[in-house]
Structures are given as C-alpha cells and as structure tokens.
Amino acid sequence: MKHEPVDFFTRYFVVLFRDRIQSRMDSSDPVRKLLYLVLGLIFLNGFLFVFSVKDIWQVPKADRYEKPSLLFGLNTEGKYEPIAEFYRFSRVVITDEDLPGGWEENKVIRCFVSTEDNNFRSHKGLDLRGIFRATMVNLLAGRVKEGASTITQQVARLKFLNTERSFLRKAREAWLALLLELVFDKKTLIGIYLNEIPLGHGTIGVGAAAKFYFRKDIKDLSWGEAALLASLTTRPKEFSPLVNPNTSASKVRVVFKKLVENGILDVETAEREFEAFSEYYITLNRSPNDSAFSDRLNRFPYFTEYVRKNLARYIPSQQIYEGGLKIYTTLNIQHQAQAEKALAAGLKQQTQLSNQRAFTKIDSFEDSYGSTYKLLAELHDLPEFKFKISRSYRTFNRAWQEEFRDDLSVLNLISGTEGLGEAIDWNYRTQATEDHLLPVEGALISIRPDTGYITAMVGGSGFRSDNQQIRAFQAYRQPGSAFKPLVYASAMEYYHEHPDDKKNVTAASLFDDSPLQYVLEDGDEWNPSNYSGEYSGFIRLREALELSRNSVAVRLLEHTGLNNLLPRLEKLLQVENRNLPRDFSIALGSFEVSPYELARSYAVFASGGKQVFPLSVLYVEDEQGNLIKDFRKEFESKERKRLLSPETSYVITSMMEDVIKKGTGTGARSYGLTRPAAGKTGTTNNFRDAWFAGYTPELVAVVWVGYDTGTLSLGRGMSGAVVAAPIWGRFMANALVKEKSKSFDFGDAKIVRRTICSISGKLPGSHCYQTEEEVFDKDTVPKEVCDDHRGMSEPDPTPTHTTDPGTTKKKKPNLFEGDEDVIR
C-alpha cells in the first residue's frame, strides 16, 4: 500500500491511529474484529469522559489559591490601612517558611501523611496496593468503609472536582492525580494539600485552622494540636472539638496510634504528648456554632456591608470574595470610630430613657391565639407563626437573664472560677438589650462637602445577625424641622432668580407667628402649631429658625407659593422616582427622607450651593496592583451643578449657626465643639423621630434616632435638641479633633452687612432702640426705614426684681422651645 506523505503530528495522531485500527479490522476472524471494535469504543468513550483539554491549562495552576479581598480606610496619618476582609472561607496560605523541619521533623506534615497517605513520598499519584486493600475491606464490610485516595488524589478533588461518589469522578480524580505528579514535586503537592483541606467551622487549610482552634501560627503547634488538625480531614463537623469533644479526643488518639505504628513517635512520647494535649478539652469554652467567619477582619461592619452591596454591581461577587482585590475607600478611620462611639453611647442611654418594653408574653399569645392564627393565616395568606428558638430555650433565656445570672455572677466572684466568670462577662457584653427593653435605633452619616467622600457611616445600634439594616440609607422617616432650612433656602433662591419685591425673603423678613387653620379638601381641619404652644406675634425669619417656629415656616411657604418652591426643593433633595407632597405640610418636614439624602442636601449648603455626589469607594486594584475599577474618573466627570447661589448658602449657614449658638441646637455644643458649625434640629409628631443635621467647614453630618417601629414614641420631651444634637456634637468634636479648624468660606458670595431694627427687620430709624447686624444678598438689602417706634419710649433697662432684691428675675430658657409638632 502506498502511504501519503504526512507531517509529524498527522502521522502519529491521525494516520498511525487509522492504520492501527485498519490492521485490526482486516483480521479474517469476525469475532476478534468485533472484540477489537468494542474494546476500542470502550477505551475511546472512557478516555473522552476522563480527559478534558482544559486539564492541560488547569493543572499547572493548582498551586494558586483563592485570596481574600482587603478593604482599606484612611488613618490619621493620611495612610491607608486594612479595615475589613471579604472571603467565603477563612484561609491563611502557608509557605515553606511556615513549615520548618520538612519531612523529617515538621509535626503537621508528619501527622497528615501518617493519617492520610503513608506512602505519599513513594507513589506516583496512585497507590495500587492501597486501592486493592480498600476494595477488599469494603467488599467484606458490604459498604464503603475505607477510602483509597492518595494525598495527590485529594488535591485533585479539592482543586478541580466535587465530592460526588461515582466511578466517573474517581476516574477523573486518578487522571488528574497523574497529571499533578508530572507537573509538581512532592513538596509542592503537600503544600497545596495543606492549604486546601477543609477543617471545619469555615476554615480552609491548616493555617486558618490553627488560628481558629488554637490562636497560634502553624509553626508553633504541639504534637497534640497537629494531631487534632489531622483528625478533621474526613468529617470535620463530626470530629470538631467544639461540637463533640469526646469524639474528637478519640479521633486524636487514633492519629497518635498512627504516629506510633509508622515509627514517628515512641509509645512513651505519644502518651506524654496526648496527656498534655488533653488539657485543651478541659479548658475549652466555646460555642459549637462558633465560626472562623467571626474572626474575619471587619472593624466597621455597617460600612463594610454597604460597600460590599454596592461593589457587587460593578465587580462579580466571586472576584470580590476570591480575587485578592484591594479596595480603597473614602472612610476616615478616626471619623468612623468616633461615629460608632457617639451613636452607641447615645442609643444605649436613650433605650433606658425611652423605656419601651419588648413584648415578652409570646408563650401566652401562642397558647391563647395560636390555633386562631392558623385559621387566619390560611384565609388571608399570612406568614407562618413560628420562632427560631424553642419555647424551652426562650424560657431559659428569660429566667437566666432576669433571675439567675446576677446571683451566679456573685457566687462566681466568691469561688473565683475563671472560666465561668469569662462566660458570664461575655453574656453581659453580647446582650442586645437590658431587661427586655426594646432597643432604640439610629443612624449617623458624614460627608466631605468639597469632595463628596463618605467618611463615616453607622447604620444602627450594633451589626448582628438580627440587626443588619443600614439605616443611614434605608430608614426613611419624616425629618421634621430639619427640613426647614431647605424651605427657607428655596424661598430665598426663588427671589434670587425671579426678583419681585413682594416675594423678597431675607433673614430679616418679618412673619406672623400666630395660630393657623386650614380646611382640607376632604373637609378635615389642619392646625399646624408650634411645639411649645406659644406664639410670638411678628418675628424675624432668623429668630423663627432659631426657635423652630412651625407657623412661620408654613406662612413662608404660603408667601412664596408652593408651586414656586417645589422644583427647587426637588433639586436640593436630588430624589428620584419620588414626588414631594403638594401641600403645606412639606414646610414641616412631612416628606420622608433617609439620613443619607438629608446629609446630601445639607452638603449643598456647606459647599456654597454646588451639587454634591457622595462617594464611598475610590478605586479597586487586583492582586498584582493593576487598576480594575476607578470610581474617581466617573465621579470627576460629573458636572457639579449650582443648586443655590453662594449668597443664599451664606445666609442660611449664618442662620443655622445661630441655631447652635442660641437656638434649639445648643445641645450640639455640650461635648466641647468650638469650631464654626451650623445645623438644625428635627422632631416628628409624638416624638417618634429625633434628628440633627448640620455641618462645619470640613464635614457634613446627620444623626437620626428612633424606633424601627415608626409608631413608637421616644418619650415626651425627647426632641431632636435633647436626643440627637448631643450625639452630633460629640461626633463632630472628636472626629475633627486632629483637623485644623477653619472658617466658613463661600468664595465670591456678594454679601453685605447692614444694621437693622431688631423688631421690624427694617433699616433702623431714629427711634429704634434695639438694633443688630444682619447679612444680606446685595440685591435683597431692605430699603425701607423703620418708623414703627415713633413716639415710643425706650424700655427701662433696669431688671425686674423678685422678693429678693439681690435676685434678677429672668425667664428660664426652654431648651425644647419651638421644636416641631408635625401633623401629618
């Protein structure tokens, strides 16, 4: 037969194979021909099932590991430091330096090799004798009692396969093991194995397991500790010392027996090491549900969770958890730490003051109405009435917390049992509330007005499995009087854009502070009233904001026109897919906003009227330092539109400075805040929500405090001035303590200062005896001279005396005066 000329690859992979098949098929014996054909097809099918082209590229990458991504924040030195990790399982990658002694001396290697594959150094990926032995044992037992996977096969399974029990998976495992032996030496293979083996409680690899179980580095482990890790390879949950300490001790004993059988330890040394390790079980005091995930670096969990959720929109979740990314955020560690301290202390104190008790008669409700609820649930498709914990556990918890814990704590102090004392202290620390009090929740967020960087964000009283709502973004509540500066600024800006003397509004404008009454379309009456129930007659706008007069805010809205103000308010709020209510209640903060939205609106004031785009992540790098996502470019490309004039921002800031100096916001100074600051309190109907929104030249911050159940009251008198302002002041004072104080600067704002009559707000006439300086946009300076006091004598400045001539009678200032009472 004449052969066609072929190249090298064609000859050996096509033509040669074809000729071999042809030679077999030319046999004169049809039975042999059929047998060759069947065997050839079986081999070909088996090879196609086992072999995959991608194995050629995958196997050489077996020594690469999933690595956690790191989240970075800015410290006080202006440098980035890690604040959190993202990973699915805890892993600490070990290297040769972490395994001193090598094959002959390293305890961890010798324990794992003795237990899992004593012939590891001699075989080529498959242990045929071990396979035969395991087959016989399993046949005699009638079940799978013993496995025959070598360490190399286990590496193949851990890196490329699942745990399915099937012939095909075992065949693939054997094939990949052979490839691994061709690519890597034994030292590398044992390193891969030790880094990939799952050892329970969310740990992957011996490095993470050593940290979790013993709080040690791998090189510092004793024989007993190394034996425990080796005992966890088959069923880590069952043999966990936290879950089943007795079973774990028995399994560790088996590992020591293996060490003795293989000549690694003599009997005396093994017994001594095992006895020494037994102390571990005696002193072990950890929950069976403890997880390595709780050891994850996560200093500021609310901020971390917010970043994770937002980052998942741009980067695949798998890459976030496994790609070893470096995520650089806008968080300022000093700001965040002080935000958490200030809010936590304020919420704890307010929980006790508000004294709203949680419902504890659950068992009685279940006994009395459980069957009725089932009927109602079927009729109305209600969720099932069930609990995450049993009745006996609820009963024990209540009895323990209210009756037994304090007594046991005293007895423990007398007896001096260290382990029990630590357990009781831990229970006190982790208790969410005291005496079944319903926890008051809150939120705090701070933003740099010049850059939009979110420097701190706290979403509640504590990030736990049952309290992960990020309220800074997700709690939509009525802001009350904290909304008034937006209304005032919109009215001033309307005149700035549409000059009309009838619509002119300045800080000196006079408004009537008196009762109001409106008849609504449905016939109901609406009577917006002041918090104190008192009215001052005609009052200047600056003083009305200081004292938070509701009637004046409504009259201002009526004066300028609702339709004229709503477009500007919508721009300031920058809300999408939500419409502001078209009624006068908007002046009193009836439109629900989140703390984030209110902070973004106040940032417009602090930035001199420019739009602010808050930012939480700057850029993301991969493991090699390559930039994979730069949020700064998108941020810098956005046009910061002017939403307010610098003049309006200046005047509103000046008015809110007085709110803190002598109005409802004086509580913001209670923690030593001395730098220039402007802000406004807010309280909603029946004291359900307490707000403080404000800013310094460096930072904007908003605090909200209230119950998650929006109908519950914080308690009579618990206004924004009392509850939220001190938290805001404490945060601002401590967060900015290392930053140099500076004055408000609104650039080219055309502001003029004029002396006015303190009573009428006009230019002072010859008979005006009370005057003060006021700031104006140059186009809004009053022109009318006050003539209201002609013929009036100046009041006697001599103070009125009480029965004690040495005592001056003064009206006691009401700290809560003027904070709002929103009627929805």
Read off the pLDDT of each residue in 795-808 and give the average, rounded to a whole number. Answer: 40
Q: Which residues contact 790 (CB under 8 A, 6 or more apart)?
A: 765, 767
- Sign of CA pseudo-dihedral 781, 782, 785, 790: negative
pLDDT at 229 exceeding the cut of 90: yes
Q: Are 494 and 506 in contact (CB under 8 A)?
A: no
Query: What pLDDT sits at residue 51?
Result: 62
Among the residue ranges 120-124, 147-151, 198-202, the one predicted with the least confidence is 147-151
The most confident of 152-156, 749-753, 816-820, by mean pLDDT: 749-753
H-assigned helices in 574-714: 595-606, 631-637, 646-662
Q: Does a structural domain hold residue 272?
A: yes
CA pseudo-torsion sign 99, 103, 107, 109: positive
Higher confidence at residue 116 or residue 425? Answer: 116
**Active-site annotation, residues:** 116, 481
Same domain for 480 and 516, yes or no, is: yes
How many angstroms from the chain centroid is the CA of residue 267? Answer: 53
Q: Which of 173-177, 208-212, 624-628 has the lowest mean pLDDT?
A: 173-177
pLDDT at 505: 92
The pLDDT value given to residue 9: 46
Please report the pLDDT score of residue 824 as a whole number: 31
The mean pLDDT value for 470-481 works out to: 94
- Residue 363's Cβ-count burial label (10 Å; 0-12, 13-18, 19+) is middle
661 with 770, same domain: the answer is no
In 10 A of CB 53, how many CB atoms? 7
Nearest to 357 by CA among 421, 301, 439: 439
pLDDT greater than 50 at residue 457: yes
Please report the pLDDT score of residue 59 as a whole number: 76
- pLDDT tens per residue, range 166-194: 666 677 777 788 888 888 888 889 989 99
How many domains does the chain contain in total? 4
Same domain, 185 and 136: yes
Residue 571 pLDDT > 80? yes
Check pLDDT > 50 for residue 755: yes
Residue 245 belongs to a domain with what CATH number? Answer: 1.10.3810.10
Asked if the structure places residue 811 within a domain, the reply is no
Residue 420 falls inside a structural domain: no
| Portion of the chain with pLDDT greater than 90, in percent | 48
Does 810 have pLDDT greater than 50?
no
Which pLDDT score is estimated for 822? Answer: 38
| Lowest-confidence region among 19-23, 730-734, 754-758 | 19-23
Q: Of 295, 311, 337, which residue constitutes the final position of a domain?
A: 295
- Phi and psi of 581, rounded to 5°? -65, 135
- Are residues 30 and 114 located together in one domain of the fold? no
Q: Is residue 389 part of a domain?
A: no
Could you give the residue ranges of the DSSP H alpha helices within 621-706? 631-637, 646-662
- Which pLDDT tens digit goes with each residue over 632-659? 988 888 889 999 999 999 999 999 999 9
pLDDT value of residue 372: 73
The per-residue pLDDT for 804 is 37
Tokens of 165: 């029990």
Q: Which band of pLDDT confidence, cut at 50, 70 and 90, is reported for residue 98?
A: confident
Instruction: Scan for tokens 């002193």, then name that residue.
Output: 283
Q: Are residues 553 and 675 in the same domain?
A: yes
One domain for residues 505 and 569: yes
Classify burial at 669, counting beta carbons within 10 Å of its beta carbon; exposed 0-12, middle 13-18, buried 19 or more. middle
- For 150-154, 249-253, 407-411, which range has the lowest pLDDT when averaged over its residues? 407-411
The pLDDT value recorded for residue 703 is 98
- The larger pLDDT score, comparing residue 182 to residue 307, is at 307
Spatial strand order in the sheet of 700-706: 454-458, 441-447, 700-706, 689-695, 678-683
In the chain, DSSP finds a helix count (H) and a strand count (E) of 31, 18
One domain for residues 713 and 770? no
Question: Do both 652 and 539 map to the same domain?
Answer: yes
The pLDDT assigned to 793 comes to: 53
Confidence of residue 813 (pLDDT cuts 50, 70, 90): very low
Lookup: tokens for 39: 């065997």
Q: Rounded to an integer, what distance in angstroms lies between the CA atom of residue 332 and that of residue 265?
A: 54
Q: Quick one: average pLDDT of 764-770?
A: 87
- Check whether 36 has a pLDDT greater than 90: no
Contact 649, 609 (CB under 8 A): yes
What pLDDT digit, counting tens, does each position of 395-416 carry? 666 665 655 666 666 666 666 5
- Comparing 50 with 151, the larger pLDDT belongs to 151
What mean pLDDT do residues 237-259 have?
93
Residue at which a domain ends, from 235, 269, 295: 295
User: Are residues 782 and 682 part of one domain?
Assistant: no
Is pLDDT above 70 for 690?
A: yes
Residue-level pLDDT at 808 = 35
Amino acid (one-letter) located at 122: S
**Judgement on whether residues 147 and 273 belong to the same structural domain of the protein:** yes
Per-residue confidence (pLDDT) for residue 61, from 0 to 100: 79
672-683, pLDDT tens digit by residue?
Answer: 999 999 999 999
Most confident among 108-122, 480-494, 793-807 (mean pLDDT): 480-494
pLDDT tier for residue 447 given thresholds of 50, 70 and 90: very high
Q: What are phi and psi of 93, to 5 degrees?
A: -70, 125
Cβ–Cβ under 8 Å, residues 817 and 664: yes
Instruction: Write phi, then psi, for 399 (nearest 5 degrees).
Output: -65, -40
Q: Enumerate residues 6+ apart whose C-beta is below 8 A from 593.
A: 476, 477, 479, 483, 573, 575, 601
Helices of type H across 296-361: 301-311, 317-322, 333-354
Q: Residue 724: which CATH number?
A: 3.40.710.10
Token code pair at residue 768: 């005006």
Supply the range of the domain harboring residue 776: 751-786
Residue 578, classed as helix, strand or coil, is coil
Regarding whether 760 and 614 lie in a shared domain, the answer is no
Paired residues of 753 in beta bridges: 775
Amino acid 538 reads F
pLDDT at 92: 85
Query: What's the mean pLDDT in 732-759?
Result: 92
Does 428 have pLDDT greater than 60? no
Measured distance CA(765)–CA(756) in Å, rounded: 9
Contact between residue 90 and residue 295 where contact means Cβ atoms under 8 Å apart: yes
Helices 362-380 and 391-399: crossing angle, nearest 10°? 150
Higher per-residue confidence, 136 vs 266: 266
Which has the minimum average pLDDT: 49-63, 361-375, 591-605, 766-780? 361-375
> What local confidence, expressed as pLDDT, does residue 662 receive?
93
Q: Domain for residue 235, yes or no?
A: yes
User: Which of 353-357, 361-365, 609-613 is most confident?
Assistant: 609-613
Average pLDDT, the chain: 82
Residue 222 scores a pLDDT above 80: yes
Residue 730 within any structural domain of the chain: yes
Cα(373)–Cα(366) distance, rounded to whole angstroms?
9
Domain presence at residue 358:
no
pLDDT-derived band at 523, boundaries 50, 70, 90: low
Is 381 a member of any domain?
Answer: no
Residues 6 or more apart whose CB falls under 8 angstroms from that of 487 comprise 553, 556, 557, 565, 569, 586, 587
More confident residue, 432 or 314: 314
The average pLDDT across 769-776 equals 91
Instruction: Say if CB 96 and CB 119 are below 8 A apart.
Output: no
Residue indicated by tokens 């005293």: 410
Residues 781, 728 within the same domain:
no
495 forms beta bridges with: none
Report the alpha-carbon distance of residue 510 to residue 520 in Å, rounded: 27
User: Mean per-residue pLDDT for 804-817?
Assistant: 37
> Which uninterrupted H or E stretch holds 83?
strand 80-86
252 neighbors 276 (Cβ within 8 angstroms): no
**So what's the pLDDT on residue 1?**
40
Residue among 477, 237, 456 nearest 336 (CA): 456
